[in-house]
């Protein structure tokens, strides 16, 4: 299912469940008709070629974030590892906030992460809205069998009669009405005869259940709203808790993985499936729901509502702002799909809620890129270094490995000249103790070039250093026989000023100043870090082809990528994905 296979997976409780199910042959008799459907469709199929079926069911009401990546890697990864299929299902049962833009963005990001929903030539990409008709037929079947009724109370009245954790709910006066009456009202609801919120279809379970989710939950509510795919065809929409088990069953899902907050919904999930199976509407074996702990990452917010607020109120540039934990933002920032998969693998799965430090994500990026990223030099805070004994008209080529982990692999080449750009911080007129870089009288190596001895500096009228001066020591060029004759304690990076490529470089910091911006009753908007993005004008080594999708290591500085929106070949804009070390701790 993914383009690359991962190393031998670490076992976890979900793998154990699947392995036991496969061993017991629990899903061996399943039929698959090549498409989702009720029992009538599924029973006409043949043996399911997929050992298991899982699904990733996003609601297309926002962009995917790093939390979704955990669910994607889990669902697609398990299907791949057990020769199963993973469906991409748009859970678009809520007309108000759903849009095609989000559907496209979700497809784009799941593909980018390296996953694919094709199995044995079948494209398992589905929309819950395609099931509206069959779902409605199921609802009529439940009403006819006495398992559901139309309650003419308002949403507020229904809520008030639900009881509390310690007190049972009260039966609605419509609970025991004849099935024909409920059926007629349900049809009238569907036909648009009633305004929003005047009545609802409810499951008839148990108003005294200690599990509030079983106190006659609502199946359908009236909502006169256009849907991004079905338009005005419907004015009643299914509730998530009713739609979800039906969607899973129609698609022949075997293992339905969701986050822990749905644990209390599982009895209701099972109740719906059991009733519909008894009524001959659903094929056996039925799906099972399992819960795992969601990903909570420090220094970010991952609620779609809060992300939307950040975007819509202009606190960030858009859903793909490089500071956001959206997958589009992480991609733009320079994260690779492999680094996100590695991160999710390291997270593992468990039933215990925990908070993961943001640095874990950054470390996964470094570990992914260190062996493979091309190296280059960049200077972020430039000051000129003049090699006073080097002729102005001379240009001398220097070489360095593209990746030092492969010293004999591809080489890069760049010129050494009289005037170079170095980092301002690599020179001190009065060095502190243990400072081994440039200061008057000290010698340092210009990496892959010559050893130079600092002779002084030039200052402007305000005392600010404008130029550093040094003399090079002939015969000390890297890679030549005399290179190690002179010992130095410091090495610095540099770029020939005449050849350097100018670039805008964007340096990012945490978007929030608080590790848990959305915990308790904190107002996350007041915790935005005003210095989360700093833009500098710097220089790049000649030969850096800055194009989005290729993340470089700029030596000593971190991992960088060309910004996919703002960068131009002749005017590069570069994002720093992460520093080389954790500078936050
Ligand atoms: P929100 O509540 O912010 O809208 P959501 O969880 O409702 O997010 P969905 O689009 O419904 O978003 O999620 C699709 C799938 O991704 C669900 O199966 C959900 O369990 C999973 N998911 C969402 N957030 C996380 C997370 N932080 N960790 C693990 N899985 C997650
Ligand atoms: Mg949701």
Tokens found for residue 503: 């670039």
Q: Same domain, yes or no, for 459 and 505?
A: no
CA 325 / ligand 1 centre spacing (Å): 13
State mean pLDDT over 128-143.
Answer: 98
Q: Does ligand 1 have an atom closer than 6 angstroms to the CB of 71? A: yes
Q: Same domain, yes or no, for 202 and 288?
A: no
> Which range among 210-224, 236-250, 507-521, 550-564 shows the weakest confidence by mean pLDDT?
507-521
Tokens found for residue 550: 């290729």
Q: Does ligand 1 have an atom closer than 6 angstroms to the CB of 499? A: no
State mean pLDDT over 388-397.
Answer: 97
Residue 374 domain flag: no
State mean pLDDT over 288-301.
Answer: 96
Supply the CATH number for residue 160's domain: 3.90.800.10
Q: Same domain, yes or no, for 305 and 444?
A: no
Tokens found for residue 536: 């500098």
579 Rama class: left (phi>0) / alpha (psi -120 to 50) / beta: beta
Mean pLDDT of the chain: 95
Taking the C-alpha atoms of residue 168 and residue 123, their distance in angstroms, rounded to an integer, is 46
In the predicted structure, residue 2 carries a pLDDT above the cut 50: no
- Nearest atom within ligand 1 for CA of residue 307: 3
Taking the C-alpha atoms of residue 57 and residue 8, their distance in angstroms, rounded to an integer, is 26
In the predicted structure, residue 9 carries a pLDDT above the cut 80: no
Q: What is the pLDDT of residue 549?
A: 87
Query: Which ligand lies nearest to the CA atom of residue 350 in the structure?
Result: 1
Predicted confidence band of residue 1 (pLDDT cuts 50, 70, 90)? very low
Residue 4 domain flag: no
Supply the CATH number for residue 278's domain: 3.40.50.620
Q: Same domain, yes or no, for 187 and 273?
A: no
pLDDT tens figures, 456-486: 999 999 999 999 999 999 999 999 988 888 8
In the predicted structure, residue 6 carries a pLDDT above the cut 70: no
**62 class by beta-carbon count within 10 Å (0-12 exposed, 13-18 middle, 19+ buried):** buried
Tokens found for residue 576: 């720093």
Read off the pTM: 0.94
Q: Per the structure, how many domains does the chain have?
A: 4
Per-residue exposure over 81-103, b if at least 16 CB sit within 10 Å of its own CB, e if not: bbebbbbbbbbbbbbeebeeebb
Q: What is the pLDDT of residue 584?
A: 57
Supply the CATH number for residue 419's domain: 2.40.240.10
CA 244 vs. chain centroid, Å, equals 23
Is residue 70 flagged as an active site residue?
A: no
Q: Same domain, yes or no, for 483 and 553?
A: no
Higher pLDDT, 28 or 468: 468
DSSP-derived pairing of the beta strands 53-56 and 85-90: parallel
Q: Does ligand 1 have an atom closer than 6 angstroms to the CB of 304? A: yes
Q: Does ligand 1 have an atom closer than 6 angstroms to the CB of 467? A: no
State mean pLDDT over 566-577.
Answer: 95
Residue 7 domain flag: no
State mean pLDDT over 144-151.
Answer: 98
Q: What is the pLDDT of residue 504?
A: 98
Of 296, 310, 424, 392, nearest to 352 (Cα)?
Answer: 296
Using most ligand atoms within 8 A of CB, pick from 54, 58, 361 the residue to mutate for ligand 1: 58
The number of C-alpha atoms within 13 Å of 354 and in the hemisphere containing its C-beta is 10
Q: Same domain, yes or no, for 310 and 226?
A: no
Choice among 59, 396, 419, 429 that is catalytic: 59
End-to-end CA distance of the chain: 37
Q: Same domain, yes or no, for 19 and 124?
A: yes
Q: Same domain, yes or no, for 300 and 290?
A: no
**Helix (H) / strand (E) containing 135:** helix 132-144
pLDDT tens figures, 274-289: 999 999 999 999 999 9
Q: Does ligand 1 have an atom closer than 6 angstroms to the CB of 518? A: no
In the predicted structure, residue 205 carries a pLDDT above the cut 70: yes
Is residue 304 flagged as an active site residue?
A: yes
Taking the C-alpha atoms of residue 416 and residue 496, their distance in angstroms, rounded to an integer, is 6
Q: Same domain, yes or no, for 403 and 486?
A: yes
Give percent of the chain with pLDDT exceeding 90: 92
Q: What is the pLDDT of residue 3?
A: 44
CA 303 / ligand 1 centre spacing (Å): 8
- Nearest atom within ligand 1 for CA of residue 71: 30
In the predicted structure, residue 354 carries a pLDDT above the cut 50: yes
Domain that holds residue 280: 13-128+241-294
Is residue 59 flagged as an active site residue?
A: yes
Residue 6 domain flag: no
pLDDT tens figures, 361-387: 999 999 999 999 999 999 999 999 999
**55 to each of 25, 287, 418, how far by Cα in Å?**
20, 11, 61
Domain limit, last residue, from 499, 533, 562: 499
Choice among 294, 346, 424, 556 that is catalytic: 294
User: Contact, 420 vs 430, CB < 8 A?
Assistant: no
Taking the C-alpha atoms of residue 486 and residue 501, their distance in angstroms, rounded to an integer, is 31
Q: Same domain, yes or no, for 468 and 561?
A: no
CA 304 / ligand 2 centre spacing (Å): 9
Quote the DSSP letter at residue 6: P
Of 130, 23, 128, 9, nearest to 79 (Cα)?
Answer: 9
Residue 175 domain flag: yes
Q: Does ligand 1 have an atom closer than 6 angstroms to the CB of 298? A: no
- Nearest atom within ligand 1 for CA of residue 302: 3
CA 428 vs. chain centroid, Å, equals 43
Which regions of 388-490 does DSSP assign to beta strands (E)? 396-401, 411-416, 419-423, 443-446, 451-459, 465-472
Instruction: For ligand 1, atom 13, name the residue with the nearest CA.
Output: 58
């Amino acid at each position: 299912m993914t383009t690359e296979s991962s190393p031998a997976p670490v076992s976890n409780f979900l793998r154990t469940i699947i392995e036991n199910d496969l061993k017991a042959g629990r899903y061996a008799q399943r039929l698959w008709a090549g498409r989702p459907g009720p029992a009538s469709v599924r029973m006409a199929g043949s043996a399911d070629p997929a050992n298991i079926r899982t699904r990733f069911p996003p609601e297309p009401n926002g962009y995917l974030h790093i939390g979704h990546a955990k669910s994607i890697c889990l669902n697609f990864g398990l299907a791949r590892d057990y020769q199963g299929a993973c469906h991409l299902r748009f859970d678009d049962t809520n007309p108000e906030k759903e849009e095609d833009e989000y559907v496209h963005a979700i497809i784009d990001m799941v593909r980018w992460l390296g996953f694919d929903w094709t199995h044995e030539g079948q494209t398992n990409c589905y929309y819950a809205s395609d099931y509206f008709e069959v779902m409605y037929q199921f609802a009529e079947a439940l009403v006819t069998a006495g398992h559901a009724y139309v309650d003419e109370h308002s949403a507020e009245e229904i809520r008030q009669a639900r009881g509390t954790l310690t007190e049972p709910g009260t039966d609605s006066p419509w609970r025991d009405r004849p099935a024909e009456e409920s059926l007629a009202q349900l049809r009238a609801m569907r036909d648009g005869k009633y305004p929003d919120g005047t009545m609802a279809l409810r499951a008839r379970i148990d108003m005294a259940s200690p599990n509030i989710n079983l106190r006659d939950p609502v199946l359908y509510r009236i909502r006169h709203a256009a849907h991004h795919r079905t338009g005005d065809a419907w004015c009643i929409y299914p509730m998530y808790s009713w739609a979800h088990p039906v969607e899973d069953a129609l698609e022949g899902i075997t293992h339905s993985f969701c986050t822990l907050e749905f644990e209390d919904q599982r009895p209701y999930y099972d109740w719906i499936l059991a009733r519909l199976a008894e009524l001959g509407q659903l094929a056996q074996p039925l799906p099972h729901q399992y819960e795992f702990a969601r990903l909570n990452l420090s220094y970010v917010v991952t609620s779609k509502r809060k992300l939307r607020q950040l975007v819509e109120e202009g606190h960030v540039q858009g859903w793909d702002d490089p500071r956001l934990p959206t997958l589009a933002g992480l991609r733009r920032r320079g994260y690779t799909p492999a680094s996100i998969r590695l991160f999710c693998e390291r997270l593992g799965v468990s039933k215990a809620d925990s908070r993961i430090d943001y640095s874990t994500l950054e470390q996964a990026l470094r570990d992914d890129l260190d062996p493979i990223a091309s190296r280059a030099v960049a200077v972020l805070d430039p000051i000129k270094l003049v090699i006073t004994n080097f002729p102005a008209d001379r240009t001398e080529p220097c070489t360095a490995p593209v990746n030092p982990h492969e010293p004999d692999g591809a080489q890069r080449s760049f010129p050494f000249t009289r005037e170079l750009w170095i980092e301002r911080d690599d020179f001190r007129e009065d060095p502190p103790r243990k400072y081994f870089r440039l200061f008057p009288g000290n010698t340092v190596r210009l990496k892959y070039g010559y050893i130079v001895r600092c002779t002084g500096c030039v200052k402007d009228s305000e005392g600010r250093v404008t130029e550093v001066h040094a003399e090079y020591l002939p015969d000390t060029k890297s890679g030549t026989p005399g290179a190690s004759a002179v010992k130095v304690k410091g090495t610095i990076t540099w770029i020939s000023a005449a050849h350097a490529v100018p670039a805008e470089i964007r340096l990012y910091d945490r978007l929030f100043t608080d590790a848990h911006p959305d915990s308790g009753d904190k107002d996350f908007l007041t915790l935005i870090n005003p210095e989360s993005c700093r833009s500098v004008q710097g220089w790049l080594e000649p030969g850096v082809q800055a194009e989005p999708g290729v993340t470089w290591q700029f030596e000593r500085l971190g991992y960088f990528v060309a910004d996919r929106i703002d960068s131009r070949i002749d005017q590069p804009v570069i994002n720093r994905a992460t520093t080389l070390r954790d500078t936050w701790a």
